[in-house]
Amino acid sequence: MKSKLLHLLRRPLYRYLIVGVSVYLFELAVIITAQHAGANAVLAVGLGFWFGLLVSFWLQKLVTFSDKRMHHRIVVSQFIAVCILVLFNFSFTLLLVKLLQHTLPAVVVRTIALAITTIWNFYLYKTRIFVKDEPVTY
């Protein structure tokens, strides 16, 4: 069992999902805490999104894709690419929350948005943002 788990953890897709679920749980905690403090659904999801981003960027770079390159030109270009992607994801997420906030709870809407963005994020991280010289395998 342990051997099988270690084998799975060698694959970026599984590490991506583990990191993603961990950050998702962190985001949910932020959303719930913000709403208990009086924030509306859009603000609560926005706070969860941005706090989650800070944690997610470094975990995806270092853990998921094992990209240890820290030269400022590489990190800055990756960060700019991720920021562009994040702005798109953020807009998509808030639009979905705005459209569905009276129908579904904020946590459910964020989950739907997260499922959708997870798919295109993995593809772009793997093929465009955290690409190293050597090929990446699943």
Q: How far apart are the first and last CA of the chain?
A: 19
For residue 137, pLDDT beyond 50: no
Between 1-10, 26-35, 94-103, 117-126, the lowest mean confidence (pLDDT) is in 1-10
In this predicted structure, what is the pLDDT of residue 136? 43
Q: How many Å apart are CA 80 and CA 52, to the nearest integer?
A: 17
In this predicted structure, what is the pLDDT of residue 21? 92
Q: Per-residue pLDDT averaged across 51-62, rounded?
A: 91
For residue 134, pLDDT beyond 60: no
Q: Are 86 and 120 in contact (CB under 8 A)?
A: no
Q: Are 97 and 39 in contact (CB under 8 A)?
A: no
Q: Minimal CA–CA distance to 52: which of 90, 26, 89?
A: 26
Instruction: Give the global pTM.
Output: 0.71
In this predicted structure, what is the pLDDT of residue 3? 83
The more confidently predicted of residues 138 and 128 is 128
The more confidently predicted of residues 135 and 104 is 104
Q: Model confidence at 51, in pLDDT bands (50, 70, 90)?
A: very high
Q: How many Å apart are CA 119 and CA 20, to the nearest integer?
A: 11
For residue 123, pLDDT beyond 90: yes
Report domain extents, the chain: 12-129
Q: How many Å apart are CA 75 and CA 128, to the nearest integer?
A: 13
**What is the residue-averaged pLDDT of the chain?**
90
Q: Are 57 and 44 in contact (CB under 8 A)?
A: no
In this predicted structure, what is the pLDDT of residue 133? 63
- Over pLDDT 90: what percentage of the chain? 74
